[in-house]
Structure 1
Amino acid sequence: MNEYFKKIIRFAKPYKIYAYLNIFFNILYALFSALSFIALIPMLDVLFGETKPIEEKPIYTGMSHLKDYLQSSMSYELHQYSVEHGAQYTLMALASIIITLFLLKNLFNYWAMYFITFLRNGVLKDIRNAMYKKSLELPLSFFSEKRKGDVISRITSDVLEIQHSFLSILEVLVREPLTIVFTIAAMFFINTELTIFVFVFVPVSGFVISKVGKTLKKSSQKASEEQGYFLSVIEESLAGLKVIKSFNAEKNFNKKFQDSTQTFYELNNKILNRQNLSSPLSEFLGIVTIAVLLVYGGHLVLVDQSLTGAAFIGYITLAYNILTPAKAMSKASYSLKRGNAAAERVLEILEQKNPISNAVNATKKATFDNEISIENISFKYEKEYVLNDFTLKIPKGKSVALVGQSGSGKSTIANLLTRFWDIDKGAIKIDNQDIREIDIDDLRNLIGLVTQDSILFNDTIKNNLLLGKENATDEEIINALQIANAYEFVKDLPEGIHTNIGDSGNKLSGGQKQRLSIARAVLKNPPIMILDEATSALDTESEKLVQVALENMMKNRTSVVIAHRLSTIQNADWIVVMQKGKIVEQGTHENLLKQNGTYAKLVSLQTLD
C-alpha cells in the first residue's frame, strides 16, 4: 500500500464504523450487480425458446458437475413454471425479478455512498483541524521560511485533493474489485473457454493505462506549489495595498500574479487532460475486448454450438459490466498520483518537528516571586550571532529598558523570554528555574506582550480583549480599557465594547489599536510585561495617550521595555544600552547621561533635553 495513503488513512480510525458499513453494502452491491445480469439469461431463453426443455429433475452427482447441475436445475424450474403459468406470465415474473435485483443493487449502492460520505468529510475535517493546530504550534522560525499563502494552500486545496483522490480510493478498493470478481465468476459459470480468452487482453489494457499516468504526481506537485505561490501574492498584496498603490506598482504585482496563474493554468490543463484520458482509453480498450468477444463468441454460438444465443447475450452484458469498475479503477490510479503530491505537502506540515516544545519533565509554575536571570546567552537566527554572551538580571517589580540601534538584539530578548525561539548557549531563568524546564503554557501565562504592530482580529472589541482572559466580565473589560486610556473612544462607538473593529482593526486609528492591545495585556494581568517598541509607530498625540496607558499598566509590575523613542523610558528603573548583541552601557537615565557615552549620543540624536 502507498506510504502516504497509510499515513493519511489513520485519520479514518474514528470513522471506521462507516467504513465497515460501506464495505458491507459494497459487497451486496457487487453481488447483486452480477446477479442482475445473470437473471437476463433465463428471460432471454424463454423469449427465444432456444434451449431444449428439461422435464426430469436433475440429480446432483458431485462438485465436478456442479455447473451442469445448476444450469439444468434452472432450466428445469423455468420449464415447470412456464408449463404451469404460461410463457407470457413467466416473462412477467422474470422481468419482476430483474427489476427487483436492479433496485436492490442501486439501493445498496446508495447506502454504501451514504456511509462513506461521513468518513470522507470526517477525515477532511480532522486533517484540516490537525493542520491548523500544528500551524499554531510551530515556532515563528518555520513561518519566516514558508510563504503564508503556501500554508493556506496546503490546508485548503491540498486537503481537499486528498478527499477527492485518496478517500475515493476507499470506494474503489472494495466495490470495483468485488464487482469485477463476482462478474468474472458469473462469466466462468456461463463459459470457461470464453472467459479465459478475455484475460489475454486485460494485462495489455492495464499496461497502456499505467504508462499514461506515470508523470501525473510530478505535475500535480508543481501545480500545488504554484497555487501556494499565487495565494501568497494575494495575501501580500492585500496586506500591502497602500504601498502598492502609492508606488504605482499595480502593474508589477498584476504581472507577477498573472504569470503565476498562467503557469498554474498550463500545469492544470496537462494534469486534467491526462487524467481525462483514462476514462475514454479504458472504455476503448474495453470495447476492443467486447468486439473480439463478439467474433470468438459468435463462433461458439454459430459453429461449435457450445453456447446458446441467450447465454452469449447475457455473457456480453456481463463483460460490459466490467468496463465501469475498470474505468473507475484506472481513474483512481490517476487520482492516487495526484493524492500523493497533495499528501506529501500536507504531511510535511503535520510531521514537522517542533523545536519549541515542553521538556519531558516540564514543571508547572503559576507565580513569579524573585527575578528574571539572563545568564551568558548567545543566539543566532541563521549563521551570525545576534546575541553574544549576554547577561542581565531583572528583579521583581522593576522596569528595565533595552535601547540601542536597529539590529542590536533588543527584540530578540523579547522573543527568547517568551520562548518564540530557544537560545543556543547559556540559560534564561525565572526564579532560578530554566524557562526550558517550565511548561510553555505556564511560562506564557506569566508574561504579557505588547508589540509594535497592534495585532487585532476581525471581531468585536470585547472578543479581542477576551484573548487576555476568557471569562472576564464586561466590568473587568471596561476597567482594563480605562487603565489603557482607551475607554474614552470605546464608549463613543455605536455598540461600545461590542463594536466590530474590522480586518486587523482597520476601523480604528493606530493609537486606538495600540491602546486596545495594551488593554488586552492589562486584562490578562500577568506579573511580567514585555513592551516591544509599543509606541514607535504612533504620532506624538497618540504616543502621549499610549505612554500614560503604559505607565498605568507598569505600576507594581516587572517590565521589560524595548524602546526606540528614548522619551518613553526615562523613568525606567534600569536602562541597558545594546550594540551588536552586547551590553555597552547600563544604569539610570541620569547616570547614563553623565557618562556621555553611547546613550547620551542616542539622546542627543533624538534632541532630548
Structure 2
Amino acid sequence: MKDLYGLLKRFVPPYKGKVILNILFNFLGALFGAFSFAMLIPALGILFRTQELVTEKPVLDSFSLDGALEMFNYFISQVVIASGNEQALIYIGLFIIIMVFLKVGFTYLASFVMVYLRNGVVRDIRSQMYQKILQLPLGFFSDERKGDIIARMTGDVQEVENSVMNSLEMLFKNPAIIIISLGAMVYMSWSLTLFVFVLLPVAGYIIGRVGKSLKKTSMKGQDKMGDILSITEEDISGLRVIKAFNAEEKAYERFDRENEAYLHIMNKLMWRRFLAHPMSELLGTTVIIIVLWYGGALVLNNESALSAQAFIGYLVFFYNIINPAKAFSTALYSVEKGLASMNRIDRILSQENTINDKAGAQDKASFDETIEFRNVSFKYVNEKVLKKVNLTIHKGQTVAFVGKSGSGKTTLVDLLPRFWDVSEGSILIDGKDIRDIKLHDLRNLMGNVNQEPILFNDTFYNNIAFGVENATEEDVINAAKIANAHEFIVATEKGYHTNIGDRGDKLSGGQKQRVSIARAILKNPPILILDEATSALDTESESLVQEALLNLMKNRTSLVIAHRLSTIKNADVICVLHKGEIIEMGTHEQLLEQKGRYHKLHQMQVF
C-alpha cells in the first residue's frame, strides 16, 4: 500500500477535486444504502408483531438516529393501523426503492467523476514517459534495449491502467461502505462487532500474503515481455540478414525460448490471481458462519440486547461488508500486479538527465568566430575514447576527420551538440563553454546529415520541414532543389505530400540522403556536421549527393567525417585520428607529403 500511496501522491493532485467528489458521492451512496437496511429492521418488527405499534407521535427536539427511527416506527404503525399490513408492505417497498435509487445514483456519479481521474492519470504517465525518453542522453539508450523501452511505454502503462486505475474505484468506494456498515454494527451491538474485528484481520493477513507474491511474479512477467518485444524488434529490423543466412529456425528458437518462459511465468501469475476470488469467498463465508453461530447463540440464550429482527438486520449489515471486502481484496491483488509495472516505468522516469541547462545558462543566437576543442578527453565507461584533443576551427572552414573505425571520429563530433558531455577539458564556441550555453540555442546552431539518413513515416514535405517552424511550401521546394531532390519528389504520385514509408523505405539510399540534406538546408544552420554522408552510396548517387553537400556547405563551417578520402580533398584542414588522438593535421597535399598514416590510407584507396 506504501507504493500505491506514492503513486497517488505523484499523479493524483491535479485531479484532487474529482477525488473529493468521488469520495463524497461514494459516502452518500453507502449512507443511503445503509439507511434502507436500517429502516427495514423496525418495519419487520412491527409487521410481524415482534415489536409494539407506536401510537403516539414522538417529539423531536433535535435530529438524532434514535429520533429518526422512532419517527419511522410511528409512520409505519399509522399505515398498519389505517390500511393493514399489505399496504404497509407497499409503502416499505416504495421507501426502499427510493433509497436504492439514491444509492445507485450517487454511486454512478462517483464512477462518472472517476473516469476523469483514471484516464487522466494514465495519460499523464504516458506523457511523462515520452517526454523523459526525448530528454534522456544517448548513453541511456546504449544500455537499454529498444523493445524493452517500448514494452514499458505500452504494455506496462496498459497494465497500470487495467490493474491500478480500474481498482481505484473499489479502493475509494468500498471503504465508505465498510465504514458506514461497521458504524451501524457497532451501534447495534459493540460486543458482537468486537468479535468480528478479531476475525477479519486473520482473513486479511492470508489474502495479503498471496498479494505480495503476485507482485514479484508480475515483475518477472513484464521483464520477460520486454525481452520478447526486443527480440521481435531486432528480428524485424534484421529480417534481410536472417533470410540471407537461412537462420529462420535459429531466430524462431530464440523467440520460442523466451515465449515459453513467459508462458510459465504468466501461468503462475494467473493461478495466484484467480485464487483471489475463491479464497476471499471461502474466508468470507467462514467468517459469516462463525458470526451467525456466535451471535445466534447470544440471541437464543437472551444474552444479547439484539432482538431477532435486529440480529437479522445485523447480519445484513455484516454481509454488506463481505462483498466490498472481497472486492477490496481482489483490487489489492490487481494493484500489486500493476505496481510491478509501475516500478518498471519508474526505471525510466527516475533516470537522471545529466545533459541539461545549468543554472544561469546563456543565450547564443549566432556563430561568429571559432570552435575550440581544449584538452578534450572522453570515456564511455572506463577506457578513454578521446585523449587530450586540441583543435581550433575557424568560421567558414571545412574540417575533415579521417581514421580507421573506432578511432573516435564520431564521438568527437557528437560532443559538439552535447549528445555526450566531455569527461575532461572543454569545448568552446566563440570563447564560451558549450555547457554554459542553453542546449536549445546550441543545437539550433547545427545541422546534421548522418551516414544512415534518419527519416520518419511521413510525407516528403513534413520530413524536410521537420524541426523548422513556419516553413512555407516554397521554402521546402527551394531546399529540395538545392539538395537535388526536387525531380524525384515531384515524380511521385502526390509530390511533396507523398508518404515515404517507415524510415523512408520507399526510397533508394541516395534519395533518402538527399531528403536528409534538404532538411539541413531548410534549417540553414551556421555549423554543419556530416557523418560519412556518402559512404553507403553507389557512384551515381554519390555524385548527386556530393553535389548537394557542396551546395549545403557553401558559406558554412563544416565538420566532415569521411572514409572516402576523395570526398574531402578540398577540405581546409584534415585531422587524422588514431586511438583517440589527432596524430596528423593539414591539407590533403601537406598530409601526403608527410608520408604518414594519411598517406598510407590514401595509397590503399587509390590501389
Q: Tell me the TM-score normalised to structure 1 length.
A: 0.95
Query: How many Å apart are 1:48 and its aligned residue?
Result: 2.8
* Structure 2 counterpart of 1:396: 395
* Structure 1 counterpart of 2:243: 245
1:212 to 2:210 alignment: yes
1:106 to 2:104 alignment: yes
Looking at structure 1, the residues matched to 205 and 13 of structure 2 have their Cα atoms a distance apart, in angstroms, of: 34
1:11 to 2:30 alignment: no
Query: How many Å apart are 1:159 and its aligned residue?
Result: 2.1
Looking at structure 2, the residues matched to 267 and 316 of structure 1 have their Cα atoms a distance apart, in angstroms, of: 41
Aligned partners of 1:468 and 1:523 also within 8 Å:
no
Within a 5 Å distance, the mapping from 1:78-477 to structure 2 comes to 78-168=76-166, 170-304=168-302, 307-477=306-476
Query: How many Å apart are 1:549 and its aligned residue?
Result: 0.6
Aligned partners of 2:46 and 2:52 also within 8 Å:
no
* Structure 2 counterpart of 1:588: 587
Looking at structure 1, the residues matched to 220 and 419 of structure 2 have their Cα atoms a distance apart, in angstroms, of: 32
Query: How many Å apart are 1:59 and its aligned residue?
Result: 7.2
* Structure 1 counterpart of 2:35: 35
Query: How many Å apart are 1:300 and its aligned residue?
Result: 4.2
Q: CA RMSD in A?
A: 2.1
* Structure 1 counterpart of 2:507: 508
Aligned partners of 2:46 and 2:53 also within 8 Å:
no
**SS of residue paired to 1:571:** coil
Letter aligned with residue 289 of structure 2: A
Looking at structure 2, the residues matched to 139 and 403 of structure 1 have their Cα atoms a distance apart, in angstroms, of: 26
**SS of residue paired to 1:39:** helix
Looking at structure 1, the residues matched to 530 and 421 of structure 2 have their Cα atoms a distance apart, in angstroms, of: 19
Looking at structure 1, the residues matched to 531 and 541 of structure 2 have their Cα atoms a distance apart, in angstroms, of: 17
Looking at structure 2, the residues matched to 11 and 67 of structure 1 have their Cα atoms a distance apart, in angstroms, of: 39
* Structure 2 counterpart of 1:480: 479
CA shift in 2, pair 1:506/1:62, >3 Å:
closer
Looking at structure 2, the residues matched to 62 and 15 of structure 1 have their Cα atoms a distance apart, in angstroms, of: 38
Letter aligned with residue 493 of structure 1: T
Letter aligned with residue 531 of structure 2: D
Structure 2, unaligned stretches of length 5 or more?
A: none
Aligned partners of 1:29 and 1:175 also within 8 Å:
no
Query: How many Å apart are 1:61 and its aligned residue?
Result: 11
Aligned partners of 2:284 and 2:326 also within 8 Å:
no
Looking at structure 2, the residues matched to 47 and 249 of structure 1 have their Cα atoms a distance apart, in angstroms, of: 82
Looking at structure 1, the residues matched to 179 and 507 of structure 2 have their Cα atoms a distance apart, in angstroms, of: 67
Letter aligned with residue 198 of structure 1: V
Looking at structure 2, the residues matched to 211 and 548 of structure 1 have their Cα atoms a distance apart, in angstroms, of: 70
Aligned partners of 1:43 and 1:95 also within 8 Å:
no
CA shift in 2, pair 1:394/1:83, >3 Å:
same
Aligned partners of 2:475 and 2:522 also within 8 Å:
yes
How many pairs does the alignment contain? 606
Letter aligned with residue 162 of structure 1: V
Query: How many Å apart are 1:554 and its aligned residue?
Result: 0.6
Query: How many Å apart are 1:69 and its aligned residue?
Result: 6.4
Query: How many Å apart are 1:74 and its aligned residue?
Result: 4.0
Looking at structure 1, the residues matched to 526 and 346 of structure 2 have their Cα atoms a distance apart, in angstroms, of: 39
Residues 41-75 of structure 1: CA deviation (Å, up to 9, x unaligned): 24433543332323345678999xx8876655543
CA shift in 2, pair 1:186/1:5, >3 Å:
closer
Which deviates more, 507-516 or 67-76? 67-76
Looking at structure 2, the residues matched to 61 and 475 of structure 1 have their Cα atoms a distance apart, in angstroms, of: 84
**SS of residue paired to 1:53:** coil
Residues 423-470 of structure 1: CA deviation (Å, up to 9, x unaligned): 111111111111111111101000000010111000001111111422
**SS of residue paired to 2:530:** strand
Structure 1, unaligned stretches of length 5 or more?
A: none
Aligned partners of 2:591 and 2:599 also within 8 Å:
yes
* Structure 2 counterpart of 1:497: 496
CA shift in 2, pair 1:561/1:493, >3 Å:
same
* Structure 2 counterpart of 1:44: 44
* Structure 1 counterpart of 2:603: 604
Looking at structure 1, the residues matched to 558 and 427 of structure 2 have their Cα atoms a distance apart, in angstroms, of: 16
**SS of residue paired to 1:567:** helix
